[in-house]
Structure 1
Amino acid sequence: MVSNLAKISGLIYVSGDDGISSSNISKLLEMNESDITNSIDKLNDNLSNDPDSPFTIIKYDDKYTLATKEELDSIIKKYIIDDDEISLTQTSLEVLTIISYNQPITRVEIDDIRGVNSNKTIQKLIKQGIIRVSGHKKVPGNPKLYEVTENFLKLFGISSLKELPKIDKNLITKEEK
């Protein structure tokens, strides 16, 4: 017989990068949400205290997912940089900042703020899975709207956009006059 901890762990594992909410786990396992939360805390304690486990459970946007322990960040970042999978240039960081603080936002709006064309950078960030198309703006031409993904949150070690540092909005928006 498989324990509820194993079932919860399995569901978090198979949910992958999308994660799974405690309410979804609750429905699937017919358990109340406080028991789910307590079980996830216990699982996370087990993972944290096991020196041979590279994993931890993180919560972002009310969903749980597996992630690697913070202690492994340096080796993982080295792998990512060496493997060229995710490399963030100054331009990429500028575009990400504009999107994260103004989303959803169109490419033209990003270009207006930056003063230069951002198309190539946007395409690279989409390919890297850091931003995505979230819809189309209801204006002539129906331009694409962009927003950051869960991968953005994971990459910067935050669980929601509310954790972004407070900055002067005038630096990353174009005011209408």
Structure 2
Amino acid sequence: MNYKAIIEAILFTMGESVELEKIAGAIDLDKKETKKLIEELQEEYKNSKNIGMNIIELDGAYQMCTKPEMYEYLIKIAKQPKKRVLSDVMLETLSIIAYKQPVTKAEIEKIRGVSSDHAVSRLVEYGLVQELGRLDAPGRPLLFGTTEEFLRSFGVQSVDELPVLSPVQVEEFKQEAEAEMQVKLDV
């Protein structure tokens, strides 16, 4: 059995420090043998120029971490903007918010016909949508609208620049939606 590979897998997967006792229990060896294997791994990592990782000891526990000379490369990755992918549901929800803002979740759900909690939450998390306040109505529901990040992401200066659908397109969309609903009802 390749105990060192198992120890590496444990430390890599856990991502945080793991007590010697737990590692020893996982590989069915005593603590002394396990500690010897870990120390051998530490030496291998330390002496290899081809491995960017270390194993450090923290108060009787061990953790896999990055060698300090790798930090500059990690920082370059961390500074890169994260690419966020918008699902069809999120795009649909975002479109409703953009064209109907300020709008409540109930109004969004009435248009979509399904719950929109998750989509709205993700859009807020992505910074494309924000809470604009509360509607002066029973229950005081939150109002949502788009953000400056939305405008930047879609390359417009204001929501007034969003494309306007012609009445012909609106009718075509209605017919497509009705046909789609009929197919779902027939199944």
Which TM-score tier does this pair reach, normalised by the shorter chain? Answer: 0.3 to 0.5
Relative to total residues, which structure has the larger helix share, 1 or 2? 2
Normalised TM-score (structure 1) = 0.48
Higher relative contact order (CA 8 A, sep 6+): 1
TM-score by length of 2: 0.45
